[in-house]
Amino acid sequence: MIKKVLVANRGEIAMRIFRSCRVMNLPTVAIYTHADRGALHVRYAEEAYCISENEADTSYLKPEIILNIAKKTGAAIHPGYGFLSENADFARRCEEEGVVFIGPSADIIAKMGIKTEARKIMEAAGVPIVPGTKEPVSMENVHAKAKEVGYPIMLKALAGGGGKGMRMVRKEEDLEAAFRMSASEAANSFGDDAIYIEKYIENPHHIEVQVLGDKYGNVIHLYERECSIQRRNQKVIEESPSPFVKEETRKKMLAIAVAACKKIGYYSAGTLEFMMDKDQNFYFLEMNTRLQVEHPVTEACTGVDLVRDMILIAGGSPLPYKQEEIEFRGAAIECRIYAEDPESNFMPSPGVIRVREAPEGRNVRLDSCAYAGFEVSLHYDPMIAKLCSWGRNRESAISNMRRALREYKILGIKTTIPFHQRVLQNSTFLKGNYDTTFIDTKFDKEELKRRENNDPTVAIIAASLKHFEQEKEAAARATTVPLVGESLWKHYGKLQMSANNF
Ligand code: ADP
Ligand code: ADP
Ligand code: MG
């Protein structure tokens, strides 16, 4: 039995996990860096520990310190996603030192963390895999191996994650340069420069299957998610069910995923990712041995609380449901909201959030770490929130999402909200037959700028600001005169502060 939960993470996912703990009446422990001392997850937890006294240290990758805090507080560790979530050594140390790790076994994490290993295991378990090399390639044999697989190919890092170290190559003359770049990016991101080759699947759909297993060999699936709206091989919008997958293919895919997980003895929540071509052929891509960013769409359609179940399973409980008891209802969409400027090629947009109005109401879910006054720093992932909508069917989920996006107001930094609004009006998206090339080929980025300039709310805000400035100037002339020698900047700064009631 788990009596307390430490979340070895930050941001929206730390909040997400703490919320389920509160529902389960489990006390919580937060960890934080100096840069995050004002973060929401620190305030929400019953206990919070700073994991670095060093102001410049913004890392959450501290196995030793986190383990010690878990032992001291008697907490199990939920790693969230990113950071230590797929670090097999960390999971193993937890196992060895008697700290419950809320996730799968260290052994499975280790195997699935190496993509070539994962491919072998899945192939042996009867799962079709993307054609490619079984072993890593070197500068010496990369030409021959690429020819064998057949162009176009994808160079991929064995240790890959977060879309890093991946490069598509169409022609042999581009191979060497691409190989060097992939290897160096992989070395920088993962401390491992090993690269292997996959056949590049043209116009693929990214479809993934959510699974949930216990320590007694029971495994169920929670249907699929379509994650083909991507930028730089990273998902930005996800939905469930996939509007592309045919019923017959779905059945086959779900059955294969469950059978494979039973075969490898998988427990906890996990995701099998697949590439699907236009003819509904699907190939295993990788397995993520953790809670996925986009899990809320699955929760919306199945009613399952994945975090709660992960905690129960880690504590030794059997799966709380049988496959037949999972009832899939309606459709759900998730938009990942980033602190980026979609009008300037998605440049990072750090800074202090001045105003935040969150969408509310029927069939809308917001998982967020943002509040007015919160500073979005460059040190961390720029994703500040996930907005999720549900509907009885896809059309209604889309209408609800559009409504929620209109209500969502964040001022002070730029966000990707206008981008999502655009996608949710795009005819290809509405038809539901989009692939991973959507943003590059079907989405008019220029239109985003035109829309921004024509938006009446922009005009209203501009007019209000102008009016405010004029009033302020008039007030300044009438009531205050700068003290002799006082800087005008300071003077107006003070006026500004009193106007904002700071
Ligand atoms: P998901 O399918 O859940 O989105 P991703 O592989 O995209 O999984 O990663 C989940 C999160 O972890 C993302 O926020 C991503 O930025 C981060 N992440 C994953 N792997 C890495 C990595 N190697 N380096 C940096 N960030 C990573
Ligand atoms: P990561 O570990 O970074 O999440 P994945 O192997 O899951 O890497 O791939 C991420 C994305 O990259 C996929 O969703 C897809 O868009 C693209 N991709 C990866 N492999 C291929 C491939 N063989 N063919 C076409 N696209 C691919
Ligand atoms: Mg992936």
The pLDDT assigned to 10 comes to: 98
Give dist(CA 64, CA 70) in Å, integer: 10
* Residues linked to residue 221 through DSSP beta bridges, in sequence order: 211
Pocket of ligand 1 (CB under 6 A): 81-82, 161-162, 164, 189, 234-235, 288, 292-293, 381, 383
Two tokens, residue 470: 């004029």
Pocket test for ligand 1, best of 293, 384, 416 (most atoms within 8 A of CB): 293
Residue nearest to atom 24 of ligand 1 (CA): 162
* CA 444 to ligand 2 centroid distance, Å: 23
Asked whether the beta carbons of 155 and 169 are under 8 A apart, the reply is yes
Residue 241: is the preceding peptide bond cis (ω within 30°)?
yes
The pLDDT assigned to 502 comes to: 40
Tally of CA atoms within 13 A in the half-sphere of 496 that contains its CB: 8
* CA 81 to ligand 1 centroid distance, Å: 7
Instruction: Report every protein residue that has its C-beta within 5 angstroms of ion ligand 3.
Output: 273
The pLDDT assigned to 466 comes to: 78
The pLDDT assigned to 463 comes to: 79
Pocket of ligand 2 (CB under 6 A): 130, 154, 160-163, 166, 198, 200-201, 204, 206, 230, 233, 273, 275, 285-286, 436
Asked whether the beta carbons of 261 and 213 are under 8 A apart, the reply is yes
* CB under 8 A, 24+ apart: contacts of 45-48: 45/7, 45/18, 47/73
Give dist(CA 353, CA 157) in Å, integer: 36
Asked whether the beta carbons of 4 and 20 are under 8 A apart, the reply is no
* CA 474 to ligand 1 centroid distance, Å: 52
Question: What values do phi and psi take at 415, rounded to 5?
Answer: -135, 170
Two tokens, residue 252: 């086959």
The pLDDT assigned to 458 comes to: 75
Contacts of 130 (CB under 8 A, 6+ apart): 119, 198, 199, 201, 275, 283, 284, 285
* CA 283 to ligand 1 centroid distance, Å: 21
Q: Could you confirm whether 43 is annotated as catalytic?
A: no
Which one is catalytic: 16, 290, 336, 422? Answer: 290
Residue nearest to atom 27 of ligand 1 (CA): 162
The pLDDT assigned to 304 comes to: 98
Give dist(CA 95, CA 267) in Å, integer: 15
Two tokens, residue 280: 């509904």
Give dist(CA 257, CA 253) in Å, integer: 6
Which of 350, 349, 368 is CA-nearest to residue 359?
Answer: 368
Q: Which residues of the chain have pLDDT under 50?
A: 498, 501-502
Pocket test for ligand 2, best of 233, 281, 288 (most atoms within 8 A of CB): 233
Residue-wise pLDDT tens digits, 242-264:
999 999 999 999 999 999 999 99
Crossing angle of the two packed helices 88-96 and 106-113, in degrees rounded to 10: 170
Residue nearest to atom 15 of ligand 2 (CA): 233
pTM greater than the 0.85 cutoff:
yes
Asked whether the beta carbons of 355 and 372 are under 8 A apart, the reply is yes
Contacts of 397 (CB under 8 A, 6+ apart): 239, 330, 331, 332, 333, 363, 389, 390, 391
Pocket test for ligand 1, best of 81, 83, 208, 378 (most atoms within 8 A of CB): 81
Three-class HEC string of 376-434:
ECCCCCCEEEEEEEEECCHHHHHHHHHHHHHHCEEECCCCCHHHHHHHCCCHHHHHCCC
The pLDDT assigned to 478 comes to: 56
The pLDDT assigned to 225 comes to: 98
Residue-wise pLDDT tens digits, 324-346:
999 999 999 999 999 999 999 99
